[in-house]
Amino acid sequence: MLSSACSHSLLHRPFLPPSSLRKTRVSTRPGALHPITRSFRIFEFHSRTSSKEWKKISCFRHEEFSSESQQSKYVEHFVPEEVESECNNSNKVKRDLKLTLREVADAVFRAIGSRWTVPWTVETIVQVMLLWVAAFWFIGSWMVPFAAHIAGFSRESLTFRGQALLSLVTDVTEGVAGIMILHRCLCRFRPLPSDWFRFSLKGTWQFDVILGCLMFPLVNRLSQFNLNLLPLLPSTPVTISSVEQSILARDPVAMALYAVVVSVCAPVWEEIVFRGFLLPSLTKYMPVWCAILVSSVVFALAHFNVQRMLPLIFLGVVMGAVFARSRNLLPSMLLHSLWNGFVFLDLMK
C-alpha cells in the first residue's frame, strides 16, 4: 500500500516551476534541440528526485522495520535479564543465609569449646562402657539382692524405709563400681590432662546452670510428647515404683532416703561416666557437638525407658553443653541434681 501510494504521487506530481530549474544545465549550442534537451533534463531531474524519494521511503520503511525488530530484541533480552536479576538476588539471599547460619554455628561451637586431648583409643572407650553396663546389671540384679537374701531380708517383706535404704545401698555400690572401673582402665594413661574429671567452684558456670534450669519446662513437655508418641501398651501392667509407694505413704524417712538417691548419688556417678568420660573421649573421633549428641543418646538408652527417651536426650544435650563450656563436672552434676529434684517434687504433688 505504501509503495503504490508513493509511486502514484510521484507520477502525478506537477513539474517544478522554472525558478526551481535554475540548477539544470541547458545547452546553448546552435542546432541543439532545446525542447528535447529540456524535457530530457527535466525527466532526468525527476528521475533523480524520485530515486531520492524512493530512497527516503525505503529507508523510512527500513527504519520502521528495524525499530520493531530492535523492540522485539529488547523485549526478548529484557525478560532474561530480569529473571537473571531475580536469580542473582535469590542466590545472594541464599548465600547470606548460609553465611549467617555458618556464623551462628561457629559462635555456638566456640561457645561450646574445643576438643579434649584423648590419650586412649576407641577400644578403651568400648571396654569402659561395656564393663560399666555389666557392673550395673550385676550389682542391681544379683549382688545386692543376694546379699540381702543372705542377711535374711527379701524385697517383698521390707518396709518403705527398708526399700529406700536398699535402693540407696544399690545406687552407692553401682557408683563405686563405675568409678573403680574408670580408675582401673585409665590408670596406664596417667597423668591425665588437667581438664579431665575436673571439679571446681571457680568460673562463670552459674549462669549456664540457670539457663539449663529454664529448659526444665521444655523437658517436661517433651516427656508428655514422648508418652503420647509411644504410649504404654494395654497389655503392659501398670506398676508403682517403691519411690511412688513411699511418697503415697508419706513416710518422711523413706522420702528423705530416696531424695538422697535421686538428687545426690545418681547425678554424681552418672555425670562422671557419661559427661566426665564418654563425652570427652568421643571428641577424638568427632566434633564436640556431635559427641554431646551421641553421649546424650547413650545416656537416654542407659535408663531403659522408651517412654522417656526424648526428654532424656534433650536433658543430656543441655548438661553436655554446660559441661563442655565449663570443662567442669560440678555444673552438670548440679543441673542433673536439680532436674531429679524437680521430678521428685512433682511426684509429691
pLDDT of residue 107: 66
Cis peptide before 191 (omega within 30 of 0): yes
pLDDT of 322 above 90? yes
Mean pLDDT confidence for 201-216? 90
CA distance 275 to 327: 10
pLDDT of residue 305: 84
pLDDT of 157 above 90? no
Q: What confidence category does residue 230 fall into, taking pLDDT thresholds of 50, 70 and 90?
A: confident
Q: What confidence category does residue 172 fall into, taking pLDDT thresholds of 50, 70 and 90?
A: very high
CA distance 145 to 160: 16
pLDDT of residue 2: 41
The more confidently predicted of residues 243 and 18 is 243
CA distance 289 to 115: 10
pLDDT of residue 334: 95
Distance between start and end Cα atoms, the chain: 100
Which value, to the nearest 10 degrees, does the dihedral of the CA atoms of residues 325, 329, 330, 333 take?
A: 110
pLDDT of 137 above 50? yes
Cβ contact 323:238 at 8 Å:
no
Give the tens place of pLDDT for each residue, 176-199: 999 999 999 999 998 999 889 999
pTM for the whole structure? 0.68
Cβ contact 24:41 at 8 Å:
yes
**H/E element, 42:** helix 34-112
pLDDT of residue 286: 92
pLDDT of 4 above 70? no
Mean pLDDT confidence for 15-41? 43
pLDDT of residue 229: 83
Query: In sequence order, which residues have a C-beta less than 8 Å from that of residue 292 and are 6 or more positions away?
Result: 112, 279, 316, 317, 320, 321, 324
Give the tens place of pLDDT for each residue, 88-109: 777 777 777 777 777 666 666 6
**H/E element, 84:** helix 34-112
